[in-house]
């Protein structure tokens, strides 16, 4: 299987990289993942090309488009090349929460608005997808919602970050589905870090501190839970 995955930023790139590596238990001979156009560049020191370069049965190209709108435009620009190179899938991952979404639906996150927004984005790519290779997927509302749903990882960042602490100090109820609960999950994520007097931001050191602590069991638990249907949709686009 040969798959290209376009993501909107470095958080998504790190998350997908970790997901793929953990899916294969980091078995060097089973897969190959390569990263292109990472921003910031220092992320390249951690998101290393990994796996058997010549004989791995599954190959993944991970491309950082560096913005939500660039995911679709990059796919449009490169789909012909991917077809020529024999790719089986070209997947895009971006957040629903964006300037475009807020302009259409300010402070609104009902299911019909989200579904309409997603369908419009998919329709815009449909003319390039006559062969069915393109699979555009969305984190609802942001990829931080997926991280909030894997709440066990927070204690690996700081032992204080128990479910009770998250509820008392950051107003995060881990029993609820972040996908439907929060309009701007990034801001809720920031509140967790503020509760322990640490900065989060879109800084590589903060991103990798939590992403690289995710284990295969975290991804499996989220997949098998009732939370974050958008994660299951993305997971299946890659591996099924």
Question: Are 76 and 188 in a shared domain?
Answer: no
pTM over 0.95: yes
Would you say residue 133 lies in a domain?
yes
Burial class (CB in 10 A: 0-12, 13-18, 19+), 113: middle
Question: Are 92 and 178 in a shared domain?
Answer: no
Average confidence (pLDDT) per 10 residues, the chain, 240 residues: 97 97 97 92 92 96 96 97 97 97 85 95 95 97 98 97 98 96 94 93 89 98 98 98
Question: Are 76 and 21 in a shared domain?
Answer: yes
Would you say residue 85 lies in a domain?
yes
Looking at residue 33, its pLDDT comes to 98
Would you say residue 155 lies in a domain?
yes
Measured CA angle at 132 (ends 127, 137), to 5 deg: 85
Looking at residue 39, its pLDDT comes to 86
Question: Are 88 and 204 in a shared domain?
Answer: no
Q: Which domain holds residue 115?
A: 2-144+226-239
Would you say residue 217 lies in a domain?
no
Question: Are 104 and 151 in a shared domain?
Answer: no
Would you say residue 216 lies in a domain?
no
In the chain, the number of structural domains is 2
Question: Are 133 and 152 in a shared domain?
Answer: no
Question: Are 78 and 192 in a shared domain?
Answer: no
Question: Are 86 and 108 in a shared domain?
Answer: yes
Would you say residue 219 lies in a domain?
no
Would you say residue 220 lies in a domain?
no
Question: Are 56 and 133 in a shared domain?
Answer: yes
Would you say residue 77 lies in a domain?
yes
Question: Are 68 and 182 in a shared domain?
Answer: no
Question: Are 103 and 150 in a shared domain?
Answer: no
CATH number of the domain within which 60 lies: 3.40.50
Question: Are 197 and 235 in a shared domain?
Answer: no
| Whether 182 contacts 166, CB under 8 Å | no
């Amino acid at each position: 299987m040969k798959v290209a995955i376009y993501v909107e930023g470095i958080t998504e790139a790190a998350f997908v990289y970790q997901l793929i590596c953990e899916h294969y238990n980091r078995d060097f001979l089973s897969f190959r993942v390569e990263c292109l156009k990472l921003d910031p560049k220092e992320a390249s020191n951690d998101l290393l090309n990994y796996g058997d370069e010549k004989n791995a049965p599954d190959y993944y190209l991970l491309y950082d488009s560096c913005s939500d709108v660039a995911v679709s435009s990059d796919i449009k620009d490169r789909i012909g090349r991917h077809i020529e190179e024999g790719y089986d899938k070209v997947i895009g991952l971006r957040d629903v929460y964006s300037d475009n979404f807020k302009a259409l639906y300010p402070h609104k996150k009902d299911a019909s608005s989200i579904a309409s927004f997603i369908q419009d984005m998919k329709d815009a790519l449909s003319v390039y997808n006559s062969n069915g290779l393109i699979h555009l997927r969305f984190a609802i509302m942001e990829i931080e919602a997926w991280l909030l749903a894997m709440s066990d990882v927070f204690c690996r960042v700081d032992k204080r970050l128990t479910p009770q602490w998250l509820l008392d100090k950051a107003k995060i109820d881990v029993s609820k589905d972040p996908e439907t609960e929060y309009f701007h999950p990034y801001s809720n994520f920031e509140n967790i870090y503020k509760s322990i007097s640490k900065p989060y931001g879109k800084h590589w050191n903060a991103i990798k501190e939590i992403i690289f602590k995710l284990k295969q069991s975290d991804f499996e638990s989220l997949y098998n839970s009732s939370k974050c249907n958008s994660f299951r949709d993305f997971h299946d686009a890659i591996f099924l």
